[in-house]
Chains A and B, each alone.
Chain A
Amino acid sequence: MFNIMKAIWYRNLVITKRSMPDLFSIFFWPLITPISMALFASFINSREAIIILLLGSISWSYAYSSQQDVSYSFLRDMWYRSVKKLRLIPTSTFSLIIGTWTYSIFRSIIVLLVTSGVALIFGFNLFSAEIWKLALVFFGMNLFGLFLGMMITSALLRFGQSAEVLAWSVVDALILISGIFYPVSVLPESIRWIAFFSPLSYALENLRGIFLSGIFDFGMLFSMYGLLAIYLIVGWAIFSREEKRAREKGFFQRYD
């Protein structure tokens, strides 16, 4: 397991260093939303709005990065037709997924540092909260990223490259219904129920609680991790089934 993890980290670090889109995905794109939201909040001159909008945009960038490497890693091997060689490595699929996921944690932490740096410029210090509380909430987002990455990779295994659009759209769609800049209660009733099944809703609500009312809601934390436990079990079962199906149908044969 450690061989493949080491190898994935090595490869992803070199790619990140050399690829302009990758560098932009860490140091440029995550800044757009926090900066524009902070400027908007400054314009309407509301301290509370600054906190809500910056927390929302920091979380958005973090959640996006959390799933990015898990699904992008597989997608990249599809683009370069090297899926087959990767699958010949004597390692379990679980190790492959964990390898890419640990790199995604590293990437999302860098994104968090960059976006929280921007927040500091606008007078909001994310790290003024207790670190363990932040760590519990953000790690939940990493676990949700793992689940989404497995689901997107499953879709890629089943539908091929036509499913690649999911890699950059699913988080954005989910975050909108998870109360990104607003409480879930403002969502139209017809879609509000979906938010109760999104671990991101609980993460966002808890972050706002920490900074606006000083309350860290353990009930919400348990709900988030409870949902995550179910999703990860279901996600792994779906992913394993798709992996087996890919070996039956000759999917890997087509990508070399």
Chain B
Amino acid sequence: MPAIEIRNLKKNFGKFQALKGISLKIEEGEIFGLLGPNGAGKTTLTNILATLLLPSGGSAKVMGHDVAKDFLEIRKIIGYTAGYASFIEHLTGWENMKFYAMAYGARPSMELVKIMGMEGKIHKQVSEYSSGMMQRLGFIVASIHDPKVLLLDEPTIGMDPNIAVSVRSYINSLRSKRTILLTTHNMYEAEDVCDRVGIISQGRIVALGTPAALKKKYRVKNLEGAFLKMTGMRLEV
């Protein structure tokens, strides 16, 4: 059974078609990268998988659970963090983490704090955090309940390069232990951590394969070249 199975998925916002019939399978333990320009449908797709948005047509399943019907089951097994995380400012990072840990029936994790390089900052109030620190806290909260599937929507955007390296190394360490769907603008990141990537443009998957296979197919040196060939546009970094 694939960890994520999407069949002819559509999402309309009024007359605007954000997703125009996407089909995709992501196997258990796979790290899958979703690449695309702004407005291509990446966030819409991850939000549907996270059960925050109902599809207009087609179906999507996470570990066999339907996103429209079994949303509580799915929420138990997924972790999600988006590009610009935000938390209640009156609380410290630790207290925010503790709140989510309690809600998930888990325990706050100092190990995750260390991986994210937050040891010295975790007991400070979130109002003092930079956007990069918020982002790291978002990553910690997304992983606090040890989810089977991680949905990471631009997890390293806004992070210092050295922290981004440790986050990528953490993602790499989860290979074959967790299923990860990662959306990113960072081609280096996609090549570094993803087993397969899909390029999404205007609500459709226009290319799908391993980074090596895509480079070979489009006769380009890197993923950005493949991306340019498929979408005719440059990524905004």
Contact = CB atoms under 8 A, between A and B. Distances in A.
Contacts of B51: 88, 247
B53 A14 contact: no
Given A10-B98, A249-B13, A250-B13, A80 B103 contact: no
B105 A82 contact: no
Interface stretch (A1-9, A62-70, A187-195, A233-241): A1-9
Nearest to B98: A10
Contact of A82 (B47, B54, B88): B88
A54 B206 CA distance: 70
Given A80-B89, A92-B72, A256-B86, A11 B52 contact: no
Contacts of A11: 88, 91, 95, 99
Q: Which DSSP category, helix, strand, loop or mixed, fits chain A's interface? A: helix
A88 B87 CA distance: 14
A158 interface: no
Contacts of B105: 3
B103 A91 contact: yes
Contacts of B50: 88
Interface in A92-112: 92
Interface residues of B, number: 34
Interface in B1-49: 13, 43-44, 47
Contact of A250 (B47, B89, B91, B102): B47
A47 interface: no
Most buried by A among B73, B100, B102: B102
B205 to A, nearest CB: 20
24 contacts: A3-B102, A3-B103, A4-B103, A7-B100, A8-B103, A10-B102, A14-B91, A18-B90, A18-B91, A19-B90, A80-B87, A82-B88, A84-B82, A87-B52, A88-B50, A88-B51, A89-B103, A247-B53, A249-B13, A250-B52, A252-B47, A253-B44, A256-B82, A256-B84
B157 to A, nearest CB: 13
B227 interface: no
Contacts of A252: 47, 52-53
A215 interface: no
A250 to B, nearest CB: 5
B201 to A, nearest CB: 20
Contacts of B102: 3, 6-7, 10
B103 A82 contact: no
Nearest to A86: B103
Most buried by B among A81, A244, A247: A247
Given A84-B52, A88-B52, A252-B53, A3 B104 contact: yes
A19 B75 CA distance: 31
Interface string A193-231: 000000000000000000000000000000000000000
B75 A253 contact: no
Interface string B69-91: 00011011010101011111111
Which 4 residue pairs across A and B have the least CB separation, nearest first? Answer: A90-B75, A7-B102, A81-B86, A7-B103
Nearest to A244: B54
Contacts of B84: 256
Contacts of B13: 249-250
A84 B73 CA distance: 17
B197 interface: no
B38 to A, nearest CB: 14
B113 interface: no
A81 B88 CA distance: 8
Contacts of A14: 90-91, 95
A244 B69 CA distance: 12
B15 to A, nearest CB: 14
A113 interface: no
B141 interface: yes
Most buried by A among B87, B89, B90: B90
B104 A90 contact: yes
Given A88-B75, A89-B100, A247-B52, A15 B90 contact: yes
A15 B43 CA distance: 31
A18 B89 CA distance: 10
A91 B104 CA distance: 9
A252 B73 CA distance: 19
B132 to A, nearest CB: 16
